[in-house]
A and B are shown apart, each in its own frame.
Chain A
Amino acid sequence: MDLALIQTALELGLICSLTVLALFLSYTMLNVCDLSTDGCFTLGAAVGAVVAISGHPFLAIFAAMGAGVCSGFITALLQTKMGVDSLLAGIIVNTGLYSINIAVMSGSSLLNMNKTTTVFTLMQDLLEGTPLAGQYKLVVAVIAVVLVVAFLTLFLNTRLGLAIRATGNNPDMVRSSSINPAFTTIVGLCVANAFTGLSGCLLAQSQRSADVNIGTGMVTIALASLLIGGTILGRGGILSRACGVVLGAFIFRLVYTIALRFDMPAFMLKLVSSVIVVLAIAGPYLKSRWPEIRRRLTYRSAAAKGGEGKC
């Protein structure tokens, strides 16, 4: 297997790991399955692309994150203040975002950034002539991931971060303590969606195009990566778990890339991610039920033979 493929897997894995880190915050910590992730990812891509095309490569990054915060705020507001079920809130926002994303891209479903100055082209110019010249995408991705992991590690150990974790971990406790669960949910989802937006923005810029379907299925892919990361480094401090999450995203991409080499068609990506999520969630559950299932099977076969039990 050649190095270029691993490098591509690493780039994509790292950029998408920002979304996985967002789910690490919302799904693992806050215990909210945020189904607006797909739409928010595309929103980040669209907003980032529009701002970058208008000539502000750095502003594009912050605009994409800001758009993510707004999206997360609405999702959180629906479920904490308006009585909408949390899964439904995500689905509603996701659907609404489809229209917004096309509106952001001025009615077209594809934006081309072939001649646009982005953080990637800036890094390419900066690294010209150095040994890292070919890895400019990787450098940008690594910087983004390191910043986000560092932020998350610091953030989740502040009092606010602890409150967010407690909200997901024991809602009963939070309800009878001085933490307002609505507040922690809103903050948590805003921060998580900022990362999702950033992730979408960087993916679009590295591909030099943003299209309205760029985020489709992202939530499942990210969940698969998150669960893979959790099995590798599920325990320990926040830092090691966050690193595990990034590793999970990379492994997912690597496996996918290898599968592509064995002539798996590219459109299979989403099925593979679905199967991984199912295995990761259903596996431990079925394993815990296994003794009971086995007992029932043996009971039934014994009964069929006319042994124990009644027919």
Chain B
Amino acid sequence: MLTISHISKTFNPGTVNEKRALTDLSLHLAPGDFVTIIGSNGAGKSTLFNAISGSFYVDSGSIVVDGKDVTFMPEYKRARHIGRLFQDPMRGSAPGMTIEENLALAAGSGGWFSHMTKADRDRFRDQLSQLDMGLEDRMKQPVGLLSGGQRQALTLLMATMDPPWLLMLDEHTAALDPATAEKVLDITRRVVEENHITTLMVTHNMQDALAMGNRTLMMDSGRIVLDVSGEERAGMTVADLLERFHRGAGRALDDDRILLSGEEG
């Protein structure tokens, strides 16, 4: 589904601010894989996502999504097949437009000059009601009136409406309060399962990283230092994960946010 071969990316090459963000990174995802990614700040998680989504072109290596080489495909073209959610709930929807207008834009059915039909509205209402947030009764309201959690759930719906080949979740619950985050994670789990979407999810919560999906990656200094799945992963605890990180990266994990969330669990 996704095959990344030996990609590297260096920012500001040849200057004092030179930063090797990705170093000879390779990754293969099978269709339907739900992969969680953890790693300290600056490990290259978001850079990896930016490389896959096309925010920049990689310096070397290739990216193939669903058999299509997208290495030099512009971002907006990839976006048709790659859904992405950010940490900031405000990023994924247009606040000045109504809920149904945002959904119509995301649905992408029909041509440029098509109008929203009654059938479209019924479908949107149906999908919104599955979020269980009462949004189906507020379809004519501007998205700017929604809470962060509601907006993130809406963005998730928009990103998966037309099931993408690949869904990338970049700490999409980190800015939400714990109860709302839990709810959005539940919705995520359901939507991904129902549509069998291949998913990459960055999280700082080690508990979630092990509990969700079927495979976990740990990143450090632009590399994947740990890749566990199957039975090995099934029996793992947060302490095991930290220990394995230590061995893989050659040092202890130094992200307070991750350690704190690890201790909670």
Binding site for B on A (CB under 8 A): 154, 157-160, 162-163, 165-166, 169-170, 172-173, 175-181
B112 adjacent to A177 (CB under 8 Å): no
A158 adjacent to B96 (CB under 8 Å): no
Residues on the A chain within 8 Å of B91, using CB = 170, 172-173, 176
Interface centre among A154, A166, A179, A181 (most CB of B within 10 A): A166
Instruction: Given A159-B110, A172-B91, output 11 extra A-B contacts at Cβ < 8 Å.
Output: A158-B112, A158-B114, A159-B105, A162-B101, A165-B97, A166-B105, A170-B90, A170-B95, A173-B92, A176-B91, A179-B76
B113 adjacent to A177 (CB under 8 Å): no
A177 adjacent to B79 (CB under 8 Å): yes
B115 adjacent to A157 (CB under 8 Å): yes
Residues on the A chain within 8 Å of B104, using CB = 159, 162
B112 adjacent to A160 (CB under 8 Å): yes
The yes or no answer to B93 lying at the interface (CB within 8 A) is yes
Q: Tell me, in angstroms, the Cα distance from A154 to B112 when the chains sit together.
A: 12
B113 adjacent to A169 (CB under 8 Å): no
Task: Classify the interface of chain B: helix, strand, loop or mixed.
Answer: loop
- Which chain A residue has the least Cβ–Cβ distance from B111? A159
Size of the B side of the interface (Cβ < 8 Å), in residues, is 30
A166 adjacent to B76 (CB under 8 Å): no
- Which chain B residue has the least Cβ–Cβ distance from A167? B94
A176 adjacent to B97 (CB under 8 Å): no
Within 8 Å by CB of B80, from A154, A172, A178, lies A178
A176 adjacent to B114 (CB under 8 Å): no
- Say how far B168's CB is from chain A's closest CB, in angstroms: 10
Residues on the B chain within 8 Å of A177, using CB = 76, 79, 105-106
Q: Tell me, in angstroms, the Cα distance from A154 to B113 when the chains sit together.
A: 9
Q: Tell me, in angstroms, the Cα distance from A162 to B108 when the chains sit together.
A: 11
- Say how far B144's CB is from chain A's closest CB, in angstroms: 9
Asked if A178 meets B113 with Cβ closer than 8 Å, knowing A159-B104, A166-B94, A173-B91, the reply is: no
Binding site for A on B (CB under 8 A): 53, 74-77, 79-80, 84, 86, 90-97, 101-102, 104-106, 108, 110-116
Interface centre among B80, B101, B108 (most CB of A within 10 A): B101
B94 adjacent to A169 (CB under 8 Å): yes
B113 adjacent to A158 (CB under 8 Å): yes
B96 adjacent to A165 (CB under 8 Å): yes
- 11 example contacts (A-B, Cβ-Cβ < 8 A) are as follows A157-B115, A158-B113, A159-B104, A159-B108, A159-B111, A165-B97, A166-B102, A170-B93, A176-B79, A177-B76, A178-B108
Interface centre among A158, A160, A179 (most CB of B within 10 A): A158
List of 4 A-B pairs having minimum Cβ-Cβ separation, nearest first: A160-B112, A169-B94, A178-B80, A178-B79
Task: Classify the interface of chain A: helix, strand, loop or mixed.
Answer: helix
- Which chain A residue has the least Cβ–Cβ distance from B78? A178
Residues on the A chain within 8 Å of B110, using CB = 159
Within 8 Å by CB of A169, from B80, B95, B108, B111, lies B95
A169 adjacent to B96 (CB under 8 Å): yes
Residues on the A chain within 8 Å of B77, using CB = 178
Residues on the B chain within 8 Å of A163, using CB = 105, 112
A159 adjacent to B113 (CB under 8 Å): yes
- Say how far B79's CB is from chain A's closest CB, in angstroms: 4
Q: Tell me, in angstroms, the Cα distance from A163 to B97 when the chains sit together.
A: 11
- Which chain B residue has the least Cβ–Cβ distance from A182? B76
Q: Tell me, in angstroms, the Cα distance from A181 to B94 when the chains sit together.
A: 14
- Which chain B residue has the least Cβ–Cβ distance from A165? B97
Q: Tell me, in angstroms, the Cα distance from A21 to B28 when the chains sit together.
A: 52
Q: Tell me, in angstroms, the Cα distance from A103 to B41 when the chains sit together.
A: 60
- Which chain B residue has the least Cβ–Cβ distance from A181? B76
- Which chain A residue has the least Cβ–Cβ distance from B91? A172
Residues on the A chain within 8 Å of B86, using CB = 176
Q: Tell me, in angstroms, the Cα distance from A154 to B115 when the chains sit together.
A: 8
- Say how far A27's CB is from chain B's closest CB, in angstroms: 13
Within 8 Å by CB of A176, from B84, B96, B111, B115, lies B84
- Say how far B145's CB is from chain A's closest CB, in angstroms: 12
B114 adjacent to A166 (CB under 8 Å): no
- Say how far A190's CB is from chain B's closest CB, in angstroms: 14
Interface centre among B75, B93, B108, B112 (most CB of A within 10 A): B112
A160 adjacent to B113 (CB under 8 Å): yes
Within 8 Å by CB of A175, from B75, B96, B112, B114, lies B75
- Say how far A152's CB is from chain B's closest CB, in angstroms: 14
B75 adjacent to A176 (CB under 8 Å): yes
B92 adjacent to A180 (CB under 8 Å): no
Asked if A165 meets B94 with Cβ closer than 8 Å, knowing A158-B112, A176-B53, the reply is: yes
Q: Tell me, in angstroms, the Cα distance from A170 to B95 when the chains sit together.
A: 7
Residues on the A chain within 8 Å of B102, using CB = 166
Q: Tell me, in angstroms, the Cα distance from A65 to B105 when the chains sit together.
A: 28
